[in-house]
Structure 1
Amino acid sequence: MDTSSQTKETVREEREENIPDDSAFEYRKVTVKFQISDTEMVAQVYPNCLTIAEIKQDIGKKFEVDPKFLILRQFEGEYDDDYRLYETCSNEFGIVEFCLEISDKAITEHGKIPELNLHVYYSKFRLADFITVHIPEDETTNTKSKDILVEIHNESILKPFLGGYKDKVTGIDYFDAFTQTGPPVEKIKTSGIYSRDTQTVLEHTKSIDTMIDSSTQAFGNSNNIINVESANDVIIIPRKYQPHDEKKKSESKFANIVLIQRNWRRYLWQRLIKEAAGEFRRLQTEQARREETRGDTYIDRFSNEAATKTFSSTREDFEMLMAQVGRWKQAETARIKKMFDGGPRIVELNLLLDKEIELINGIEHQKQIAKEANKEIKENKMLEKLSKPIKWIGYKNLVIEMDLLRTQRVRYLNSIYQELKQNTKCKSKRIETLNKAKKALENEDVTAQVNEILDLFEREKNMLLATKHCELDVLHKRQQLLFLDIIKYCKDRKPDKPETRMCDTCKCIKPINDFALRTRQTSIETCNRCFYLMNTTSVLDNSVFKAILRSIQRDERSRRTLSSYAFILQEEDIKYIICKIWHGHSILSKCSDIEDLRLPRWNKADDWSPWNCVCLTSAEARHHNKLNRLEDTYDEGIRKMIKNKHLLGRTAFKRLQAVETDFVESGEWWKVGLNQKAI
């Protein structure tokens, strides 16, 4: 038999010997000491009827350790959980001593070893310690020996921190020395104390009369006394006698007035606080909504750009694609120059040129498809406009419509034109449509187009009757083109001979309407097509500058300045201002993201112009518009730099003022506010 089994047998035999009878059992509290280490010990008081399991449960909560990992030893023997406290051994003073340990299985079940930390025991629970004091028997006084349970309270004060340092290696805090005295003792209060000290009254004699005799100047007899005033005299004038009730009433009235005024000021202050709090919450909500809207705007812009690049239909969409091709070519050229040299560089550049030609051809092919698709839409809009009655506003804002014979003719011919455009396979329906069209053209003036289209109708009719199957697409296109010219023809309207000019780039003579007009040019020399071809090689997207111009115009409309220069400038002018004058970056943060740049007013009191703007990011522009004094925010160096930029803008757009004068004096500026599509 090993030593552990012998120890358990010994403990079991002692338990059987110490089990008391039910009649002899006495309920009492016992002091229990837990020996944690050689220098650490805690004590608690428990009823002697508790089991070892209940004691483990209580001490485990105080040390924050699972009770199943705790072991209570006595005389090198371990007690089971069903043992009672009165079944254990106690010393001569009635104190039960245990050795408190952690079992070995706690290491295997958890990743870390639990500890019996006295800091946890004393810091979180603030429990009091208990000791048992044994008073021996005294024969002189005939007193028996007895044990007294003493509770020790921790009444230590919180010491102030007067300085120290922390060791970076060990992590131990070292504090400087300070006084160990407690807080000052309060003075003894006499309230509630019945003693001679508080009930004794000491009387003191105090002089209240003046110690210096003084005299006054008086003249006259005993009935009429005239007093001569001196500088130190105090004159007391008797007033009307006021009874005590009236005096109390007047004092209470004044107190009520003060109370009303105080409550009224409190009410005004509370109302002001509520209004300010409501305004603060409203501003917070508005700021959150603006931030969310700003984030949604960026997401919508990226999704719109992706959709535009995938399904391009307008000139701006194809300009965006050409700009993207230009940026791709620029990046690829830089990569080739960095990686290759000599013959390999020439080969890579040739391959890059072939890829660029292939991409441009694909864009041009897509452009032709979009042009054909938009051609039919333009024709329908033109026919719809020609067939609308004439409208004007008459007396008392009455809308008057007049349907002319010309508009009725256009509507009738438009219905036949739509039938001719339908590709029906039924020969009888097609022949019926041709006969209807021929009958409608009998009332038209005899022109070359009418004779030619009648001949084409007759030719198609003969081919339909003589053949079973034939291709008539080319014939249909020619018929539709001639019929559309007949619809647009008006005998009352004489065609004006337009003014023509020769383009210096393509050397072609074109009408004056086909030439590009810009605010910075001095003469009409480049047509729209050549100007467009010159700008397609740019790596910058003009839609970005168009968006910047729209934001400027939107801000000017909100300020009711419809005669501003912003409504005269075009996208190319905004591009020149940002890229040439401001060098494509913000004046403050040097941000070069063109999509995030804005051109707000520099001086909010003046209208927007190229010499009254500043290049900032969108966030900087929002803060700039909130400023009242520019001198308090911008230093002198930045203000001088901005002033130089304004001089460059005034020089570049020196002809803009003359154009603006014509724009205002002609009366066309008032129509700007009615353009809802540009908002």
Structure 2
Amino acid sequence: MSEQRGNNEQEVKDEEEENTATNPQPGGNTAEVNGEPGRDGEEVHHDRQSTDADVLEAAADAEPQTDLHEDTEQLLEPQAAENVLSVETDLLEEAETQADLSDDAEQLREPQRKENVGNSTATVKVVLVPEGHVMTVAFAIGLSIEELKRHLASELRVPSEVLQISLDGRVVEEQQSLMELGVRPHGSTRMEMSSTDPNTHPLRPIRPPEHDNMPDVITVRVQSVEGIFKEVVVEIERPRQSKAFLGGYKHRLTGTEYHHAAVQTVPKRRPDRGVVVFSRDTQTVKLKSQVQQCADNASTQMTGIGCYVSCMKDKLVSPGNYITADEYHNRRLKAVIRLQSFARRWLAQQKVDRLRRDRDRRLAWLEMQERRRRKEELRDHRHHLMNPQRREDFNLLFHALEKWRCEEEQQINSTLRGAERKAALYSLLEQETQHIATIGLHRITAQNMNYDKTVKSFLDKSAAPRQWRAADGRLTEMDTQHTIRARELRELYNNTNMAAVSQEQRFHILMTLKHTVKEHKCQLTRDIVDLIDREVDLMTREVKAANLEGLRKRISTLFFQYIKKPAFNPEASRLLKVPQHPSKLKNDMFLCRGCNRHLRSNDFSPSASTRLIGRCRDCTGLDNIARSRKDSSCYKNILRRLREDEQQINEEAKIPYLLQVEDVRYLVDVIWASCSALHGSSDLNSLVFVRWDRHRDWSPWNCILLSKEETSAHLDLEDVHKAYEATFIRRIKHKHTLAQRHFSQISVMAEYLDSQPAAALGN
């Protein structure tokens, strides 16, 4: 039984050596790093712990090996596997018999166990005081603190005499070892290290910790043979120099590059088998040439003496025309050319069909986008007509009304005569009056809604904290005493306007408002206090809430005037349009020739072609509603789009900001006839102004009116004189001359004219 077990062990060892020789692992056993035992090494040591002293010494000196069960299952035949199982059974029986050894044998093995424990390593984390850097080293627990100091001194490049190590606030003696300090094998401890002479020899790590992206210690979960998982602490050793490049190779099919990598562990040494493998004989290739003859024989039969062969099935073969090699290749070439012509024709047809389908799909998509755009514009137009909110919406509504009136009047004049015509015109006037009244009601409702939005926006802006952006990009907010005061007034105003409140809550809100405004004594605060006392008196008399709406509205209006006073709310001074200091109004007030009021310059919208300031915006809008009823929203959109485009191209552009809506209206209607210069599109909502020569700044004499779809193609042109025909270029130049003649009369625009065109215009 022992001989068979020895033979089996020798066969397993030979198979493992051959497997290592044929499939060398470049990094060796990677489960052991910096003295940490791997999974296999721990299990082998555990299984053989109960054997005799010779077996223990062999297991302690041997390197970690791969799993015996996995190797035997992969390398041995089924019969060999059964032998290995029998060997393991014998080993387990011997282990059970050896477990009953006497105490004398245990005492003999005790010094050897202490020596093995002293050689075990532990993780030592050293904190450098006062920098706070942490150094992690793997150190044998049997070595003394003096040897640890010498190791750390070589790492930090300082003398070992100046180092002082302490544990838990107590200085550790140099003669003590880590095992005496209570450190267990494969455990970890934390110590502090300082320098007795920090000025001359400070403690600084050679490599800053921020340069290390990998942790010092990792925990690996391994599985033993019995299927039990255990965690093993693995120390990471950082080399002082970068690893060498060992070359690699590239996959021909995928193009993936593979590089050989260096590892920290030492490769496993191959056992010496007594055979020289690195010799010239093993590197020399022996060549051998050998000729072989085919063994297939063939024979024929013919008529002879004693043998008759029938000729009934014979056939006469006559030679055909002889074809030379050139003729053969020419025929093949013509066939190939013919096949290629048909194949290329088929490919061309496929490509043309594909291009045609792409073109049809593109045209269908453009048509769908155009329909969608028109539908959205129609929906927006209808929404603005049905729910007007802004001044532009009411201008559009009055423009539609004027268009309807002109059509009805034209129809009446063309169909009726005499008294019937006068009666129809009178009826038309009555209908127009009713429509104007209806529009006026909508305008009053929109003004009330806009008033509430304006008040809410004013209160929110005054109560907002001060904000600024720091140098690092973060937004900083700060509340001041003025913003806190504005926030309190906003909350009180919102509570005052609350409708669904009880009588007790209304009393509390009114008392709070009264005490707030009584802090300042003026006519406004006295009026607010009188109104509050009147409402309280009426509420005690149980007057209905519907009868108090007017009184509450007056209180709310007066309190809002109180909030807008900078003396009561300092934050309101930076939001008011009219400056409170009279000196700022001296040079900023103008007389409106329509309403005869002195207003600020912000209330006027003069054009670049006007020399004097005429009527204010309100008078201009009222005159437009009463007489012309024109819609300027499309011209405003053209001007806004022009300013945005020029701002992106040139931040110092000035001419687009000098033009007003009336100037753009003159350019579009008079100069460019309200249509695109290329295809004649007359949809004002889709027309935009772009540069004629994109290398020069935009101006009325360097522009062209195009649709939104035509702008991208025009701006891609490098030279417009090579892209367009001479007739088209002359027509564009003529429009530029008309624009120059009109805007040269304006002094602020004349200085931007070119010298040569201006001189020619003067001549």
Scaled by the length of structure 2, the TM-score of the pair is 0.47
In structure 2, the residue matched to 1:321 is 397
Q: Compared with structure 1, are the counterparts of its residues 356 and 369 closer, same or farther at alpha carbon in structure 2 (3 Å cutoff)?
A: same
Confirm whether residue 364 of structure 1 aligns to residue 453 of structure 2: no
1:348 to 414, 424, 430: 424
Match of 1:466 among 541, 546, 562: 541
Matched residue, 1:531: 620
Secondary structure at the residue paired with 2:704? coil
Q: What percentage of aligned pairs have identical amino acids?
A: 26
User: Is it true that 1:577 corresponds to 2:667 in the alignment?
Assistant: yes
Using a 3 Å threshold, how does the CA distance of structure 1 residues 198 and 594 change in structure 2: closer, same or farther?
closer
- Residue 653 (structure 1) aligns with: 743
Q: Structure 1 residues 194, 360: CA separation in 2 closer, same or farther (over 3 Å shift)?
A: same
Given the superposition, is the C-alpha separation of residues 504 and 366 from structure 1 closer, same or farther in structure 2, using an over 3 Å criterion? Answer: same
Aligned twin of 2:591? 502
CA apart distance, 1:661: 8.8
SS in 1 for 2:703: coil
Contact 1:545 1:571 in 2 (8 A): yes
Number of aligned positions between the proteins: 396
1:487 alignment partner, one of 548, 558, 563: 563
SS in 1 for 2:691: coil
For 1:643, the equivalent position in structure 2 comes to 733
Distance 1:560 1:661 in 2: 19
Alpha-carbon spacing, 1:395–1:304, altered in 2? closer, same or farther (3 Å): closer
Describe the SS at the equivalent of 1:615. Answer: strand
Query: Following the alignment from structure 1 to structure 2, what is the Cα–Cα distance between the partners of residues 374 and 381?
Result: 10
SS in 1 for 2:739: helix
Q: Which letter does structure 2 place at the counterpart of 1:453?
A: I
Q: Which amino acid aligns with 2:634?
A: V
* Residue pair 1:501, 1:511 contacting (<8 A) in 2 also: yes
Match 2:692 to one of 602, 605, 621: 602
C-alpha distance in structure 1 between counterparts of 2:393 and 2:596, whole Å = 28
RMSD: 3.7
Evaluate the alpha carbon distance shift between residue 564 and residue 195 of structure 1 in structure 2; reply closer, same or farther with a 3 A threshold: farther
Letter matched to residue 696 of structure 2: D
Query: What SS does structure 2 have at the residue aligned with 1:614?
Result: strand
Q: Is the 8 A contact 1:387 1:408 kept in 2?
A: yes
Distance 1:289 1:606, change over 3 A: farther
For residue 503 of structure 1, report the CA deviation from its aligned partner: 1.6
1:586-606 per-residue CA deviation (whole Å, 9 max, x = no partner) reads 344444443343333222222
Deviation track 1:154-185 (CA, whole Å, cap 9, x = no partner) reads xxxxxxxxxxxxxxxxxxxxxxxxxxxxxxxx
Q: Contact 1:612/1:646 (CA < 8 Å) preserved in 2?
A: yes
Secondary structure, in 3 states, of the residue corresponding to 2:599? strand
CA distance in 1, matches of 2:359, 2:697: 29
Q: Tell me whether 1:373 sits opposite 2:458 in the alignment.
A: no
Contact persistence 2:636–2:661 (CA under 8 A): yes
Question: Which residue type is aligned with residue 593 of structure 2?
Answer: D
Q: Determine which of 360, 366, 373 is the counterpart of 1:297.
A: 373
What is the identity, as a one-letter code, of the residue corresponding to 2:704? V
2:410 corresponding residue in structure 1: 334
Please say if 1:452 is aligned against 2:527: yes
Q: Is the 8 A contact 1:568 1:660 kept in 2?
A: no
Unmatched 5+ stretches in structure 2 = 1-315, 323-352, 574-578, 753-763
Q: Over residues 251-302 of structure 1, what are the superposed CA-to-partner deviations in whole Å (9 max), with x where a residue is unaligned?
A: xxxxxxxxxxxxxxxxxxxxxxxxxx99999999888766544442222111
**Equivalence for 2:513:** 437
What's 2:131 paired with? none
Post-superposition Cα deviations, 1:557-613, rounded to whole Å, max 9, x if no partner, equal 554556253344333322221112222233444444433433332222222222122
How do 1:161-200 residues align onto structure 2 when only pairs under 5 Å count?
195=318
Distance 1:535 1:602, change over 3 A: farther
Stretches of structure 1 lacking an aligned partner (at least 5 in a row): 1-192, 200-276, 663-679
Q: Counterparts of 1:655 and 1:495 in 2: how far apart (Å)?
A: 38
- The change in CA–CA distance for 1:661 and 1:654 in structure 2 (over 3 A counts) is closer
1:194 Cα offset (Å)? 5.4
Residue number in structure 2 paired with 1:543? 633
Instruction: Tell me the alpha carbon deviations over residues 355-404 of structure 1, each in whole angstroms, 9 at most, x when there is no partner.
Output: 22221221121111100011011000001111112222345555443322
Q: Take 2:706 and 2:447, find their aligned partners in 1: how far apart are those partners?
A: 38
| 1:341 Cα deviation from its structure 2 partner | 3.0
| Cα distance in 1 for residues equivalent to 2:617 and 2:630 | 19
What TM-score do the two structures reach when normalised by structure 1?
A: 0.52
CA distance in 1, matches of 2:739, 2:651: 20
Counterpart contact for 1:519–1:655, Cα < 8 Å: no
What is the deviation of 1:347? Answer: 2.6
Q: 1:446 to 1:660 in 2, by over 3 A?
A: farther
- SS of the residue corresponding to residue 319 of structure 1 reads helix
* Structure 1 letter corresponding to 2:609: R
Distance in structure 1 (CA, Å) of the matches to 2:358 and 2:656: 33
Query: What aligned pairs does 1:199-348 form with structure 2 within 5 A after superposition?
Result: 292-348=368-424
In 2, are the aligned partners of 1:564 and 1:609 still within 8 Å (CA)? no
Amino acid at match of 1:329: R
Query: Residues 476 and 660 of structure 1: is their aligned pair in 2 closer, same or farther, counting only changes over 3 Å?
Result: farther
Distance 1:540 1:632 in 2: 40
Secondary structure at 1:392's aligned position in 2? strand
- CA distance 1:394–1:627, change in 2 (3 Å): closer
Residue in 2 that maps onto 1:387: 463
Distance 1:317 1:576 in 2: 22
What aligned pairs does 1:581-596 form with structure 2 within 5 A after superposition?
581-596=671-686
Q: Is the 8 A contact 2:463 2:486 kept in 1?
A: yes
Per-residue deviation, 1:640: 2.5
Aligned pairs for 1:22-61 (under 5 A) are none
